[in-house]
Amino acid sequence: MAQAPTPAADTHARAQQDLHRGLALASAGHWRQAGEALRAGQRLEPRNPRFPEELAGVAYQQHQYADATRNLRRALALNPHDTYAADFLGTIDFLQGNLEAALQAWNRAGKPVLSDATFRVQGLDPLILDRAFRFSPNTEWRLSQFRDTRAQLESLNLFPAMRFDLLPQKDGTFVLKFQPLERPRGFSWHLETFASLLRGLPYQAVYPQLFNVNRQALNMRSYVRWDSQKRLAAAEIAGPLPSGPQRRARAYFDARNENWNVGRTVTPGVPAAAGFNLERVTAGAAFTSIATWRWQWSAGAEYSWRRYRSEAGLPAGATSLFTNAQAITARGAGHVALIRSPQHRFLLNASAVGQLGSFYSAPLGRYAQAQGTLYADWLPQASGETYELQSTLRGGGTAGNVPLDDLYMLGFDRDNPLWMRGHYGLIGGRKGNAPLGANFILSNTDFDRSLFRNPFATLRAGPFLDMGQLSRADGYFGSAGWLTDGGVQASVGALGSFTYVIGYGRDFRSGANTIYTAVTGWPFHFTNAATALH
């Protein structure tokens, strides 16, 4: 007498019937009915990877790439060794322009194998470019190799935009094609050269600069501002060491003459015109090493000299903050990628900057400052950059006495990296209108939407929220509680090399409104070195 089938065997048999029916309907091009049959079988055998794999194929044929991707990830979760699903997933990610996600999936299937690489780069020494690329012919190109390559190429500061293409060959291998947008080499009559030079004219400033001097990735940048309230001249020379682009050296110089008005920021109340003139000269050098795409560090030393003049209306007890002094400072910075999920288009980076120095004028002496940053970036769509959410959390502290120009400032000032966009940093063109302090915490969150994009310009806009607090320095400066600013900001990127920003900010505590504008560009503060690696 035949034995009756068990419930499990009966469920498996019905699931197989749904599978075969779904495959037959798919072969006939009846995608909707095929999907219904396959989902019925999946409900019977939810841990069978064949169903999400075939559902991915049905979704792909209907150009429903998000559904196809979701089903393939489920198939791989059920069977991590499914090379077909990994290859399929990588192909979809590649077609959507997400090379990182494609490599992450393809690597599970032992792909892609690179037979060669071609570079469409005109001015750079081929030896430097060759040392930046991490791959071996006729071997699998790993995601880590791609990330290392991109990190080293970005460090050269020669390519505002980069494109990596994989060209399939008849033998199943690929040829890597690198097509960057290059900065003009040396001095040229190129439109970008003049646009970059003159981008600061609205702020009485120019940016003379030369890139890729002698084809050695040696960059010379300078910044000159003749604003009568805040004159500044700065210069930097930076380039890779002979060992390759993973190690880079820079030397810099900065001289400024600034008028400050701190009548609104110093407490207790002082005359509205309380202020001073600051002369400061800084010179230094730094060395940067890209250990891997995940970990980078830099170290350097700096000499600074400052003099305070024309002091008026300042509290007698705050004299240490206005001490004329020279200082020698050792500096260090580090950056680490904590999370990088190309499938979810999310990253979380951490960086830290520290300095230890000594002033050679009483009552100042030895001091230390440290600053830490967490930076998150999320592109919520599977492809494109229509929407973007960015959030930065920073905190810093000071040990020992430092002069006023070494305090942290929370407010909008084009020379200040710590923006509170509802607190304008200038008053009558003079600095000092934003809160200052020895220790701070700051959060900036931006949500942007891309409104226009072509090879020459981009337009993005969206709301922002800034929150911060400063502790008092010598009892005279600080934020006296939490600051909260909100508003909307628009940015126009030009020629892939610089960006104009215009925004409206509101200080929710005082009700003050601010309209601000800025243009991105050098000089970068050393304290921004780790942040710049984002």
On whether the CB atoms of residues 122 and 161 are closer than 8 A, the answer is: no
Structure letter (DSSP) for residue 405: G
| % of the chain surpassing 70 pLDDT | 94
Q: pLDDT digit string (tens) for 315-349?
A: 888 888 999 999 999 999 999 999 999 999 999 99
Predicted confidence (pLDDT) at residue 196 exceeds the cutoff of 70: yes
Q: pLDDT digit string (tens) for 422-481?
A: 999 999 999 999 999 999 999 999 999 999 988 778 999 999 999 999 987 667 888 878
Rounded CA gap, 520 and 460, in Å?
A: 15
What does the angle CA 261 – CA 264 – CA 268 come to, to the nearest 5 degrees?
Answer: 115
In order, the DSSP letters of 184-196 are PPSS---HHHHHH
Q: Which fold has domain 7-109?
A: 1.25.40
Q: Region 297-307: what's the mean pLDDT?
A: 97
Provide the pLDDT for residue 64.
94
Provide the pLDDT for residue 534.
32
Listed by start position, the domains of the chain span 7-109, 113-181, 191-532
Predicted confidence (pLDDT) at residue 24 exceeds the cutoff of 60: yes
Q: Region 263-279: what's the mean pLDDT?
A: 82
For 361, the 3-state DSSP assignment is coil
Provide the pLDDT for residue 1.
47
Q: Region 165-189: what's the mean pLDDT?
A: 87
Q: Region 4-14: what's the mean pLDDT?
A: 77
On whether the CB atoms of residues 274 and 263 are closer than 8 A, the answer is: yes
22 Ramachandran zone, left/alpha/beta (phi>0; psi -120 to 50): alpha
Q: pLDDT digit string (tens) for 489-526?
A: 999 988 777 889 999 999 999 999 999 999 886 664 43
Provide the pLDDT for residue 522.
61
CATH of 191-532, one of 2.40.160.50, 2.60.34.10, 3.40.50.300, 3.30.70.120: 2.40.160.50
On whether the CB atoms of residues 35 and 18 are closer than 8 A, the answer is: no
Predicted confidence (pLDDT) at residue 32 exceeds the cutoff of 90: yes
Q: pLDDT digit string (tens) for 55-78?
A: 999 999 999 999 999 999 999 999
Q: pLDDT digit string (tens) for 111-152?
A: 999 999 998 888 899 899 999 999 888 999 999 999 999 999
On whether the CB atoms of residues 411 and 433 are closer than 8 A, the answer is: yes
Q: Which fold has domain 113-181?
A: Ubiquitin-like (UB roll) (3.10.20)
Average pLDDT, the chain: 91
Provide the pLDDT for residue 269.
64
Q: pLDDT digit string (tens) for 378-411?
A: 999 988 889 999 999 999 999 999 999 999 999 9
Q: Region 259-281: what's the mean pLDDT?
A: 85
Q: pLDDT digit string (tens) for 68-111?
A: 999 999 999 999 999 999 999 999 999 999 999 999 999 999 99
Give, in order, the Cα–Cα distances in Å from 194 to each of 3, 190, 198, 518. Answer: 87, 7, 6, 18
Query: Which of 132, 97, 134 is closest to 114 using CA atoms?
Result: 134
